Amino acid sequence: MWALLRSSFVQAEFAHAVLAPAAAAMSVAGLGAVLVSRAPRLGRRLAVLAIPAGFLAGYFETYRNFTFPPATVLSWLPWFILAIVAIDSLPDTMKRGVMAQLARAFVSAAAAALLLRPLLRHEAWSVALATGFSVTVSWAFPWAAAGSARVARLPLASALCVSALALALAAPLSGSVVLGQMAASLVTALGGSILVARLSRTTELLEGAPAAIFILGVLGVDLRWYAGAAEGVVAGLLVSVVAALAGSVAVHRYGLKGWRGVAAAVLAALTPATFAIMTAFRLSQVAGGY
């Protein structure tokens, strides 16, 4: 076991999926924490970048692809993130307005069309439209709802860590190590931002949490349609994200503070996340192991 941990492969993966995302997320979050007290508007806009920046650091370490036009499905991801960061960086009065919600729906629809086009271009238009609409709704609604002021930020980010960790464990079992690495980068980015937010007592640093929902949606679509993961695995991951969001709304509504609110949201996401992992593990055993 010690020899495995000291191997160059494990150390490289640790650097790619943990160190780089943690350094990026915590650096941006730390700078945001300083600016929130001195230049609140600039600090809040910078804080939105912490989680996406951490994820992108891991993405580029793992995938090393930033081309235009994108050559693969996953190479669209940085461009999607730029779009959602632009929306989530708007002032509160704008990003929670009707136009911002329409922009989220448009970005979600465009992402679904671009990601699914290689698979659905030979299908009947009715099938392609129904599939694209389903994927769009599964992204647009949770992402838009997460931008509401009625969502507790710390519980949401903490619960999304559970969903992202489930994806990081289920993806390799379902046939995609790369998606597992990217999900691990998201876990680290969320965790680093949460740590800085707790130390600085600045919850504004977690304003980028809604972007994590969109990232999980993109990775989930790739896992299902291109890596061939079972529907039960992806359904469990989707329910986990929705449960994380619902739990965070409930925490805000009923005024749960501190660890109680975090625990409630995490527990809401934990059961479907565990189901996704166990389903992926069981299917990998049936197939002869990963």
pLDDT for 287 equals: 63
| Separation of alpha carbons 208 and 47, rounded Å | 7
pLDDT tens string 76-125:
888 888 888 888 877 767 777 778 878 888 888 888 888 888 888 777 88
Amino acid at residue number 20: A
> Is the whole-model pTM more than 0.75?
yes
Question: Residues near 269 by Cβ (< 8 Å), separated by ≥ 6?
Answer: 159, 160, 162, 163, 240, 241, 243, 244, 247
The yes-or-no verdict on residue 7 having pLDDT over 70 is no
Burial of 114 (0-12, 13-18, 19+ CB in 10 A): middle
